[in-house]
Amino acid sequence: MTLSAFVGGIGVLGPGLANWEAAAEVLIGRVAYSPARTVLHVPTLLPSAERRRTGRVVKLALAVALEATSRAGANSAQLASVFSSSGGDGDNCHELCQALALEGREISPTKFANSVHNAAAGYWSIATGSKLESSVLCAFDASFCAGLLEAMTYVNVEGESVLLVTYDTEYPEPIHAKRPIPDAFGTALVLTPCRTPTSLARIELTLDEAAHDTLADPQLEAMRQAIPAARCLPLLRQMALGAPGRIVLEYLDVSRVALQVEPCI
C-alpha cells in the first residue's frame, strides 16, 4: 500500500512551541529548545456563547487547525476533516468523575456535551460553518499515525483535500498518575491531492517494520515519547529541513509508518 499527498499548511502548538514557524526553527536546531508550558487562548472564531463552553482540548485543536488552514490559504468551510486524539479532554473527564463521586451525581449538560470524543470536531464545524464529512479517531498512543492514514486514504480515494488535526491534553490527578501526559500538544496538516502554491512537501506513505526515528535533542525526544500527538515530530523536522528524506514514525508493535518526504520549495 502506498499513499501520497501534498502538505499545504502546518499548525503546531505545544510546550515551548508556539506555532509552526517557531517549531521549525527549534526542530532543525537553528534555535535552542526552551521548555515552557503550552499557552492556550480562547478561540475567537467561535460565537461568544460557544466560546465560554470550550475546554483545553477544543482550544488546542482549533488553534492548530486555524494555523494550518491559514498557512495553506484554504477555505475551512470547504475542507473535510480528520480529528484524532488519544484520549480527549482530560480536565472535563476529571470534573465528570468528581461529580459522579458525589451523592447527588448531578452532571452539567455542558460538561456532558464536551465529554464526547467528537467535541473538538463539532466546535470546528460551528466555527467555520463546514458541513463536509469529519472523521474522529482514537488509537491510544498510535493516534497520530492512525489519523494520518485516515486522512491520506481520503485524499487518495476521494481526490479531495482534507484537514488532519491531532491533539492531546494532560489529565489532572489522580488520572494523571495512570496516564502521565505532561502537557498539551497539537498539530494540524492540510493535505491536498495536487501541488498548490503553498505546498511545502509531497509525502508518500507506506507501512514498514523498520525501527522508528527518534530526535537527537533529549528534551524534544522526551516530548515525542510522552505525548502521543507529538509522535509527528520527526515528520515535522524533515519538512522543516526542506530536504528530501525518509523517516519512520512509531505506530503499532507490528508495524510502523514510513514516509518519503520531497520538498516543494
The DSSP string of 142-165 is: GHHHHHHHHHHHHHHHH---EEEE
Handedness of CA 240, 217, 39, 78 (dihedral sign): positive
Give the pLDDT of residue 103. 80
pLDDT band at 109 (very low <50, low <70, confident <90, very high): confident
Q: Residue 75 pLDDT more than 90?
A: yes
Is residue 128 within 8 A of residue 66, CB to CB? The reply is: no
Give the pLDDT of residue 205. 98
Give the pLDDT of residue 32. 97
Q: Residue 74 pLDDT more than 90?
A: yes
Q: Residue 163 pLDDT more than 80?
A: yes
Q: What is the mean pLDDT of residues 191-196?
A: 97
Q: What is the mean pLDDT of residues 45-56?
A: 84
Give the pLDDT of residue 210. 94
Give the pLDDT of residue 94. 79
- All 3 cell numbers of residue 8? 499545504
- All 3 cell numbers of residue 98? 468528581
Give the pLDDT of residue 104. 79
Give the pLDDT of residue 65. 98
pLDDT band at 117 (very low <50, low <70, confident <90, very high): confident
Give the pLDDT of residue 101. 84
Sheet holding 3-13, edge to edge: 134-137, 80-84, 162-168, 185-192, 3-13, 201-208, 255-263, 245-252
pLDDT band at 259 (very low <50, low <70, confident <90, very high): very high
Q: What is the mean pLDDT of residues 117-144?
A: 94
Give the pLDDT of residue 11. 98
Give the C-alpha separation, 65 to 81, whole Å. Answer: 10
So where are the chain's domains?
3-263
Q: Residue 105 pLDDT more than 90?
A: no
Give the pLDDT of residue 107. 78
More confident residue, 221 or 104: 221
CATH topology (fold) of 3-263: Peroxisomal Thiolase; Chain A, domain 1 (3.40.47)
What mean pLDDT is reported for the chain?
A: 94
Give the C-alpha separation, 93 to 89, whole Å. Answer: 6
